[in-house]
Amino acid sequence: MNNGEGFRMQSEKLTFQTENLDGLTVVRIAGELDLEVASQMRSVMEPLMELSDRKLVLNLRDLKYIDSTGIGILISIVKARHARNAPFGVEEVPSTIQKLFDMTGITPFLAASPNA
Q: What is the pLDDT along the chain (116 residues), one digit of tens a residue?
A: 444 555 455 557 899 999 998 889 999 999 999 999 999 999 999 999 888 889 999 999 999 999 999 999 999 999 999 999 999 999 999 999 999 999 999 999 998 654 44
Measured torsion, CA atoms of residues 103, 109, 112, 114, in degrees rounded to the nearest 10: 120
State how far the Cα of 87 lies from the Cα of 115, in Å rounded to an integer. Answer: 9
User: How many other β-carbons are positioned within 10 Å of the β-carbon of residue 18?
Assistant: 18
Q: What is the pLDDT of residue 115?
A: 41
- Pure H helices in the chain: 38-49, 68-83, 95-104, 107-110
Q: What pLDDT sits at residue 1? A: 40
Provide the pLDDT for residue 45.
94
How far is it, in rounded angstroms, from Cα 109 to Cα 89?
8
Q: 23 in the Ramachandran plot: left (φ > 0), alpha (ψ -120 to 50) or beta?
A: left
Q: What is the pLDDT of residue 52?
A: 87
